[in-house]
Structure 1
Amino acid sequence: MEALYYEKKPANAIHCMLCPHHCLIPPGHCGRCHTRYNDAGILLALNYGQCTSMALDPVEKKPLQRFHPGSFILSLGSWGCNFHCSFCQNWQISQDIPSYEEISPQDAVRLAIQLKKRGNIGIAYTYNEPIIWYEFLRQTAPLIHKAGLYNVVVTNGFIEEAPLRELLPLIDAWNIDIKSFDENFYLRRCKGALSPVKRTIALAAAAAHVEVTTLLIPGENDKIEEIEKTAHWLSKIDPQIPFHLTRYFPQYKMSLPATPISTLRSGAAAAKKWLDYVYIGNVPDDDLDQV
């Protein structure tokens, strides 16, 4: 399918404007996300309708603690990502092309409606980065609203303002990652940038329910001062934004030991100085609670 948000350049090159990478893609090549391909001057969304992961999840697993708690949501994911995090917890689908099944927006909506009898409230676009599943998301979300259901996006927040503003009326809840409150971390560990993510959070919070997640990695982004700085910044948008501090486990290219639960609790206590709702995640049920 032809992708949205691009400009044609001389010699059939393409300037992709979906995310802040602004990839200049020569013919026969993909952008950094590996999903947007220059086919002789036409930008194609290679992963359109390609679903690698599907499950009916508790909404709290997204994680969304304060959006229809106790309900379930049909979670769909594709493949690819516009970040390349060395610690990615879903690298098998974000950094590779796994097996998939074809699904249309109409198929997704029919399934979401069928699952209402099991407590389903809509669709969560998640697992890999849904921003680069943009065309599928953009076509499916209005149909979900027409069916009286909700749209949820779980994202790294790395999207340009124009495509984001087109999505805002369609999305009912967001969980947006803040990988770190340090630009150098984003560049070094994610091959991305923090400032566009902050813009996404601010704009989304003005339009819908937003919760924010930080995966705490020992010695990388787990300093109390940084956690408190993140919480303080969020509080200036809205002190009722729920903030999730989740436990890292060794994955992909990072072999550091798992985050101590004590680090999560200390960070959550610091964040609670600024925010009303702070949670820890990726921990045993006995420790999974609001601080």
Structure 2
Amino acid sequence: MSALAWLSNKLEDGRIACEACNQHCKLHEGEYGICGIRKVENGELQLLTYGLAAAVNVDPIEKKPMFHFLPGSQVFSFGTVGCNFSCKFCQNADISQYPKEHNHDIFGSSLSPHKAVELALEYGCQSIAYTYNEPVVFFEYTYDTAKLAHEAGLKNIYVTSGYETHKAIDTIAPFLDGMNIDIKGYSQSFYKDICGGSLKPVLETVEYAHKKGIWIETTTLLIPGLNDSDEELRKIASFQAALDPSMPWHISAFQPMYKMTDIPRTPSSTLRRAYEIGKEAGLKYVYVGNIDDESRESTYCSSCHKPLIERHGHVGQFVTNHLVNLNVCPYCSTSVEGVWH
């Protein structure tokens, strides 16, 4: 289904400038954006996947991962085909890279913004997550859904690579409650060679979205030999701690996939080392993912260090929340940062 991609602008030379993401595509008639799903047709930029969901699920919120956002709740999750990155380790390449690898073909099942909100409420979800591929590439679809969700009392979450323009963030901020932003590494070469992007815009997005009052959690997938050096991990942790030490950092284990099947799985020792680096940098909340490590998946009070939210088993399978008063430690009354209701 095609709809006007209104987050765009017509240039004097006749090209259309897409204003959704920091790839800053400027397109002639008939050209596609880097994402593969935004195309100029009849002098206007069109979003080719509006109302076409390639993946739909009801997930535990912890799976996003969001650990300080309505813990233990269910989230209605959906995404389309297409992506503005080309990560060689993408776990959802079958949808994110599909248009670029199939001559701009697209697929998806009909899911209107109204239907998405209706289903989220029907399944008892407290929020909607725009995920699986990059949400900003189907921005207008997310915006229309988020606005309706907000009106229905649901919260909205972007699970994103952090390439939103400031204009995109400003536009959706009134309806966007949370973001999990990938900080995929801390070197320009990694972003350019492995992901098809740049580091600086991602860091700027983290800073800007945080400034707008959106709850932010970040994720770094540790790939052996590529982005897991102590130096690089310290840079990520230090950047985040300087911005806000209460911003949760999720560090996850890589599994061989897509174009990186020759690289081994991340050892658990690497995750434990990254966890300690995050703590040493001053981060209050550091979590490991894609391995079973109850002690490093649980949330502890930053003052008395007692467990506040215990997690074990498959992500989101077993969550015990001791925050009876929502954002206050029951043992020492210290405030715990997050979105609790």
| TM-score normalized with structure 2 length | 0.81
Say whether the 8 Å CA contact 1:4–1:18 is kept in structure 2: no
Aligned partner letter, 1:281: G
Q: How far is the alpha carbon of 1:11 from its aligned partner?
A: 6.5
Aligned partner letter, 1:283: I
Q: Which of 185, 190, 205 is residue 190 of structure 2 equivalent to? A: 185
Q: How far is the alpha carbon of 1:9 from its aligned partner?
A: 3.8
Asked if residue 21 in structure 1 is aligned to residue 23 in structure 2, the reply is yes
Q: How far is the alpha carbon of 1:286 from its aligned partner?
A: 5.5
Q: Which of 197, 220, 228 is residue 214 of structure 1 equivalent to? A: 220
Q: Which of 231, 234, 247 is residue 225 of structure 1 equivalent to? A: 231
Mind listing any 5+ residue stretches in structure 2 that lack a counterpart? Answer: 100-105, 300-341
Structure 1 segments (4+ residues) deviating >4 Å: 285-288
- The answer to which structure has the higher helix fraction is 1
Say whether the 8 Å CA contact 2:7–2:140 is kept in structure 1: no
Structure 2: distance between partners of 1:100 and 1:140: 17
1:165-203 C-alpha deviation (Å, 9 max, x unpaired): 111221111100001111121111111111111111112
Mind listing any 5+ residue stretches in structure 1 that lack a counterpart? Answer: none
Identity, in percent, stands at 41
Q: Which of 87, 90, 110 is residue 118 of structure 2 equivalent to? A: 110
Corresponding position of 2:33? 31
Q: How far is the alpha carbon of 1:288 from its aligned partner?
A: 6.0
Q: Which of 78, 87, 90 is residue 89 of structure 2 equivalent to? A: 87
Structure 2: distance between partners of 1:222 and 1:285: 19
Structure 2: distance between partners of 1:9 and 1:173: 33
Aligned length: 288
Asked if residue 128 in structure 1 is aligned to residue 136 in structure 2, the reply is no
Corresponding position of 1:166? 171
Structure 1: distance between partners of 2:156 and 2:17: 29
Structure 2: distance between partners of 1:288 and 1:94: 30
Corresponding position of 2:61? 59
1:151-172 C-alpha deviation (Å, 9 max, x unpaired): 1110001011111111122111
Worse-superposed segment, 46-55 or 199-208: 199-208
Aligned partner letter, 1:213: T
1:31-90 C-alpha deviation (Å, 9 max, x unpaired): 100011011321100111110111110000000111111111111111111001111111
Corresponding position of 2:279? 272
Corresponding position of 1:253? 259
Aligned partner letter, 2:268: I
| TM-score normalized with structure 1 length | 0.95
Asked if residue 202 in structure 1 is aligned to residue 207 in structure 2, the reply is yes
Corresponding position of 1:281? 289
Corresponding position of 1:243? 249
Structure 2: distance between partners of 1:2 and 1:68: 34
Structure 2: distance between partners of 1:235 and 1:9: 40
CA-atom RMSD in angstroms: 1.6
Structure 2: distance between partners of 1:144 and 1:17: 24
Say whether the 8 Å CA contact 1:277–1:290 is kept in structure 2: no
Aligned partner letter, 1:269: E
Q: How far is the alpha carbon of 1:24 from its aligned partner?
A: 2.0
Aligned partner letter, 1:65: F
Structure 2: distance between partners of 1:226 and 1:262: 16
Structure 2: distance between partners of 1:7 and 1:149: 31
Corresponding position of 2:46? 44
Q: Give the alignment of 1:69-80 within 5 angstroms.
A: 69-80=71-82
Corresponding position of 1:262? 269
Structure 1: distance between partners of 2:293 and 2:57: 21
Structure 1: distance between partners of 2:13 and 2:171: 30
Structure 1: distance between partners of 2:244 and 2:296: 24
Say whether the 8 Å CA contact 1:280–1:290 is kept in structure 2: no
Max Rg structure: 2
Structure 2: distance between partners of 1:271 and 1:52: 35
Q: Which of 150, 155, 170 is residue 160 of structure 2 equivalent to? A: 155
- SS of the equivalent of 1:272 reads helix
Structure 1: distance between partners of 2:188 and 2:13: 34
Q: 1:91 to 1:188 in 2, by over 3 A?
A: same
